[in-house]
A = this chain, B = another copy of it.
Amino acid sequence: MMTAKPSKIVDCTVRDGGLVNNWDFSIEFVQDLYRSLDEAGVEYMEIGYKNSPKLLKGADAAGPWRFLNDDFLRKVIPNKGRTKLSALVDIGRVDESDVLPRTESMLDLIRVACYIQDVDKALELVSLFHERGYETTLNIMALSNVMENQLIEAFDAIRESVVDVVYVVDSYGSLKPSDFAYLIDKFKQHLPNKKLGVHTHNNQQLAFANTLLAVDKGVEYLDTSVYGMGRAAGNCNTELLVAHLPGTKYSVRPVLEMIEKHMLPLRQKEEWGYIMEYMVTGLLDEHPRSAMAQRGSDKQDRIVDFYDQLTTPEVLHGK
């Protein structure tokens, strides 16, 4: 039996999937997604980034989901259902004056992503959002490359903070179930006063299995994407989790509708998922940027060359 702790699914299709297509989602797409998630019983939809275009280069080319604006959101989702809205912010890219008090905002949850060395800055932002009334999470990225002493130090600051939920993030899709279990246990041990969440990537086809493992360990916040759409290998599939979490509160059919209407055609134009270059960076516990570069070049599918490049000593020494 799985734990009886109440799970909360945070669908990241627009936010993480936007990393695939530069947030080029139509308003109809996002409206259909919202309706399908609401009908499916998914608790949160992460509808984009709340970064400021003033603080980011090349911002003009990106769709509106990269720089969420409350006036715009009110037009997109005039009738909000039970599904809450979430946005992600990055350290150094958020303008505090852009963030309304929650009572005046469409957003319910603001999540702060950071690397381990920026946990203090991230917690400052968390405090700000918390004071303005939002639910908050802290998402520490690239945990597979963090030394445990750094993590322990971060835990001390996090424990004392106001953050509601702390995420275990497998940014590179490199963690085997045994590694993932180890990290979750570590977070549980050091953060007994915080709820936990997980965000997985599917480089090794382990995103769903690792998420189920997290549920068994009592983790409550579970990130997913419809049809797995997310950067590179993508995320845990919403349809799989909705279909398998115990209890009767979720339905898979509305998610299947979304996949049939939007995701299958979109997958013909854009690519994500189990692709060999991404499997290789996952295997080697690396950021997928080199794999994404090769997929976008005329060397696509030359996977043996790619593997050799990443594993020859000269390249490794220059890492």
Known: A212-B176, A212-B177, A239-B279. Is A304-B205 also a contact (CB below 8 A)?
no
Contact assessment for A244 and B176 in the assembled complex, using a CB-CB cutoff below 8 Å: yes
Known: A303-B256, A303-B259. Is A206-B204 also a contact (CB below 8 A)?
no
Q: Which of A2, A209, A240, A259 has the most CB of B within 10 A?
A: A209
Q: A301 vs B266: C-alpha distance in the bound complex, in angstroms?
A: 13
Known: A256-B276, A256-B304. Is A178-B2 also a contact (CB below 8 A)?
yes
List chain B residues, Cβ under 8 A from A237.
205
A253 within 8 Å of B (CB atoms): yes
Copies in the complex: 2
A54 within 8 Å of B (CB atoms): no
List chain B residues, Cβ under 8 A from A213.
177
List 9 contacting pairs A-B, 8 Å CB cutoff, sorted by A: A2-B178, A177-B209, A205-B209, A252-B307, A256-B276, A260-B276, A260-B301, A264-B301, A273-B274
Q: Which 8 A-B pairs have the closest CB atoms?
A: A209-B209, A205-B208, A260-B303, A243-B283, A256-B303, A256-B304, A257-B304, A264-B301
List chain B residues, Cβ under 8 A from A240.
204-205, 279
List chain B residues, Cβ under 8 A from A302.
260
Q: A252 vs B302: C-alpha distance in the bound complex, in angstroms?
A: 15
Q: A304 vs B239: C-alpha distance in the bound complex, in angstroms?
A: 12
List chain B residues, Cβ under 8 A from A207.
205
Q: A276 vs B252: C-alpha distance in the bound complex, in angstroms?
A: 12
Q: A244 vs B285: C-alpha distance in the bound complex, in angstroms?
A: 12
List chain B residues, Cβ under 8 A from A2.
178
Q: A213 vs B181: C-alpha distance in the bound complex, in angstroms?
A: 13
A residues neighboring B (CB under 8 Å): 1-2, 176-178, 202, 204-210, 212-213, 216, 237, 239-240, 243-244, 252-253, 256-257, 259-260, 264, 273-274, 276, 279-280, 283, 301-304, 307-308
Name A's interface SS. helix
**A275 nearest CB neighbor, chain B only:** B264
Q: A131 vs B1: C-alpha distance in the bound complex, in angstroms?
A: 44
List chain B residues, Cβ under 8 A from A208.
204-206, 209
Additional A-B contact list (19), CB under 8 Å, known A204-B240, A209-B209, A256-B307: A177-B212, A177-B213, A204-B208, A204-B244, A205-B207, A205-B209, A205-B240, A206-B208, A209-B210, A239-B276, A252-B283, A252-B307, A256-B276, A256-B280, A256-B304, A257-B304, A260-B276, A260-B302, A260-B304
Q: A206 vs B210: C-alpha distance in the bound complex, in angstroms?
A: 10
Q: Which of A216, A259, A279 has the most CB of B within 10 A?
A: A279
List chain B residues, Cβ under 8 A from A252.
283, 307
Q: A202 vs B239: C-alpha distance in the bound complex, in angstroms?
A: 15
List chain B residues, Cβ under 8 A from A259.
276, 303
List chain B residues, Cβ under 8 A from A239.
276, 279
